A and B are shown apart, each in its own frame.
Chain A
Amino acid sequence: MKTDIILAGVGGQGILSIAAVIGEAALCEGLCMKQSEVHGMSQRGGDVQSNLRLSDRPIASDLIPLGGANLILSLEPMESLRYLPYLRPDGWVVTHSEPFVNIPNYPDMDRVNDELGKLPHKVTLDVERIAREAGSARAANIVLLGAATPFIGISYAQIEEGIRRIFHRKGENVVGLNLKALRAGMEAALPFPAKA
């Protein structure tokens, strides 16, 4: 298997926790992994992205080539569009639907939605609302991960194991809430057309 994922969002939203869970799951599965992160200045509310590469063979580059990503996973709708040149023609975009507005010139959401609408394979969900309904407003990123589970190339059970390992230090309650958030995201994404 080989899955290239671009994680996108705004500094401070928590894309790196998603990467950590997938990374842990990949490690359990014995897969090779490379994940490049953004630290430093851009974390102060700027656009951030992480390249996450999984494969059952050794991976050369830390960066995903243009047109190479199987999946863009984004916590912000406009940010999901920023990395489209990296998406394969058959790749999926899974994104939070609600904008994070911290710039004065944030575009009209109808225009953002029009662009998302043009993509053949996408899942857009209000992951914050789903997270609140699932009992943990802070687990929006895990809801998003849940929605993306069909496209990662790692079994759902293994992703659950990743969550257990990442959150076990914070106690059973936190593990439970995140597992619930994962499932809520997975189920919310079911009505979207399955992977061709």
Chain B
Amino acid sequence: MGKYLFLGDEAIAQAAIDAGLSGVYAYPGTPSTEITEYIQTSPTAKTRGIHSRWSTNEKTALEAALGMAYAGKRALCCMKHVGLNVAADCFMNAAMSGTHGGLIILTADDPSMHSSQNEQDNRVMGNFAMIPMLEPSSQQEAYDMVYDGFELSERLGYPLLLRITTRMAHSRAGVETRPPKEQNPLSFPADGRQRFILLPGLARLRFKALLKAQEAFTHASETSPYNQYFDAPDKTLGIIATGIAFNYLAENYPEGFEHPVVKISQYPLPRRLIERLADTCAEILTLEEGYPVVEEQLKGFLGKGITVHGRLDGTLSRDGELTPDAVGKALGKEISAFYAVPEVVEQRPPALCAGCGHRDVYEALNEVIQTYEGAKVFSDIGCYALGALPPFRAIDSCIDMGASITMAKGAADAGAFPSVCVIGDSTFTHSGMTGLLDCVNEQSNVTILISDNETTAMTGGQDSAGTGRLEDICRGIGVEPEHLRVMTPLKKNYEEMKRIIREEIEYRGVSVLIPRRECIQTLKRKHPAKQ
């Protein structure tokens, strides 16, 4: 116990350890990565034997977490927002089965897309699954929510969705920790088969149970310490602020609120608090980090013709993360900067590191590709997506984990030639292997480069699930050995690399090329003296 300076991610990790966690399951993804990393390096977690190895993807992670919770223990499953799309099959159905041991599913959303390809708000997913959600407004609240959350999950019998955003994940503040709890003993649900076998007859009963449970979820929200009503004199406006938006609101009223405020950090919506606000105030302003989730719900919810302002009516921008200034403007405050950004300031986009193997892959690939008219290079999620930027401009797509292989297949099916794809080693094992099987089964005319840096580099160098076994995996899936070729991406090998790439493009079938050289960042960390 004590007071520590924690990132939001670290506060969540420490809280889970203190709450008697038995296992964290996750695939790295900004801004969620540091939660699992913290548990991996925590001496307490080691002593307590807490599972913390990376999973192959978010779906395997969530299924394993559900299995651990089925066995009565407390499990945490962490992912970035788009990871929940990968885990959605399990996510939706874990809401049907419910849980036995406490299960917290963490989604780290990334509004403004600092490191992501979309800014989806996973409160929509939580509402879709109809499970309770938590959305902390401070690092301390994040700690407390997780510390108490496993018990709440066990009491309600359902998993909880804990939603944070980039600013919460990656902002540090002082956090008071609480006494550690014991882990749960191994135990199985008494009515396990009725709950966990979702055959239609049983699933129908489970859905009715989930619908009925909404009452208990709403009651939990209405009595939650995280949802609060703050009265204030000026009733011309009532304000609903969710999660971190509450901080930006408070920043604009350093001497106390002028309008009544409902702070929401637990869902489903606390109906009574909102009705009280609607009954007292002439109009309502909703402040939400992400999509207008509450704003949309309010329209149907109140049914009293009360005017609701927010992201839908343009009071706040429909996209992008909130800032104290955006909230201030929505409150009608005068917000102005004294200085402007001088014209001389240029954009400085991120780039592949000097000495990175992906650079050599793109150099060689570009030279070959230029000799084919209409060639397309489908790429994927990872550092190598930076190959989209100058000087390479080497790729034509970057959609979702694993999509490079399957998009190349579809384009080849349509007649595109050459249809090339570039995928990283970790992304390949995450979601590329199944697509490769599709290609092999149909002998699709694709050339697949698995640019192997033997790590999950973009998120900071976490273990990659297939390191050392990529050739075995590809052979096992059925890639012909003579079209499975490994090379070392270095300048001195360009001629050989170009020859191989050309030969395999010319081969009318599935080729897998594996340019392999360790990530320059993980290499530097292992040998700091070489810097």
Q: Is A60 an interface residue (CB 8 A)?
A: yes
Shortest 8 CB-CB contacts between residues of A and residues of B: A40-B115, A40-B30, A46-B350, A85-B337, A60-B250, A84-B339, A61-B251, A44-B350
> Most chain-B CB neighbours within 10 Å: which of A44, A103, A111?
A44
With A61-B247, A87-B339 known as contacts, the answer to whether A42 contacts B350 (CB < 8 A) is yes
Q: Which residues from chain B contact A175 at a C-beta distance below 8 Å?
A: none
The interface bits of chain B over 229-267 (1 if a CB of A lies within 8 angstroms of the residue's CB, else 0) are 000000000000000100111110010000000000000
Residues of A within 8 A of B250 (CB): 60-61
| Contacts known (A63-B323, A84-B341, A103-B348); A39 close to B5, Cβ less than 8 A | no
Interface string of B350-384 (1 = CB under 8 A from A): 11110000000000000000000000000000010
Asked whether B5 lies within 8 Å of A78 as measured between CB atoms, the reply is: no
Please choose the segment from A28-36, A124-132, A152-160, A177-185 that sits at the chain B interface, where 4 or more of its residues have CB less than 8 A away: A28-36
Q: Point out the residues of chain B lying under 8 angstroms from A42, CB to CB.
A: 114-115, 350
Beta-carbon contact of A38 and B170 below 8 Å: yes
Smallest CB-CB separation from A109: which chain B residue?
A: B344
Q: B31–A81 contact, CB under 8 A?
A: no
List chain B residues, Cβ under 8 A from A88. Answer: 338
* A84 and B340 in contact, given A45-B351, A65-B324, A103-B348 (Cβ under 8 angstroms): yes
Q: Could you list 7 A-B pairs, sorted by A, with CB under 8 Å?
A: A24-B5, A33-B173, A38-B170, A46-B351, A66-B336, A102-B351, A103-B346
Chain B residues with CB under 8 Å of A62's CB are 167-168, 171, 173, 244, 247
Q: Are A45 and B353 in contact (CB under 8 A)?
A: yes
Answer yes or no: A192 CB below 8 A from chain B CBs. Answer: no
In the complex, B34 has a CB within 8 A of chain A = yes
**Cβ-defined contact, A60 with B251, below 8 A:** yes
Chain A interface mostly:
mixed
A40 — which chain B residues lie within 8 A by C-beta?
30-31, 114-115, 458-459
- In the docked arrangement, what's the CA distance between A103 and B31, Å? 26
Q: Is B174 an interface residue (CB 8 A)?
A: yes
Residues of A within 8 A of B347 (CB): 47, 103
Q: Which of B99-127 contact A (CB under 8 A)?
A: 114-115
Min Cβ gap B228→A in Å is: 15
With A65-B251, A111-B344 in contact, do A37 and B171 touch (Cβ < 8 Å)? Answer: yes
Given contacts A46-B351, A61-B250, A81-B342, 8 further A-B pairs with CB under 8 A are: A33-B173, A35-B172, A39-B115, A40-B459, A60-B251, A62-B168, A78-B348, A79-B348
The contact size tier of chain A is 35 or more
- B residues touching A (Cβ–Cβ < 8 Å)? 5, 7, 30-31, 33-34, 114-115, 167-168, 170-174, 244, 247-251, 254, 323-325, 328, 335-342, 344-353, 383, 386, 390, 458-460
Do residues A39 and B344 form an inter-chain contact, with CB atoms below 8 A?
Answer: no
Tell me which residues across on chain B come within 8 A of A82, comparing CB atoms.
341, 345
Among the listed B173, B336, B350, B390, which residue makes an inter-chain contact with A67, where contact means beta carbons less than 8 Å apart?
B336
CB contacts under 8 Å to B, within A127-146, are none
Complex: A57 Cα to B458 Cα, angstroms: 37
- In the complex, chain A residues 7-30 whose Cβ is within 8 Å of any chain B Cβ: 10-11, 23-24, 27
Give the residues from 90 to 124 in chain A that come closer than 8 angstroms, CB to CB, to chain B. Answer: 102-107, 111-112, 114-115
- B171 contacts across to A, CB distance below 8 A: 34-37, 62
Bound: A23/B340 CA distance, A:
29
- Bound CA–CA A33/B175 (angstroms): 11
Bound form: Cα–Cα A88–B340 in Å? 11
For A45, give the chain B residue with the smallest CB separation: B351
CB distance from B432 to the nearest CB of A (A): 20
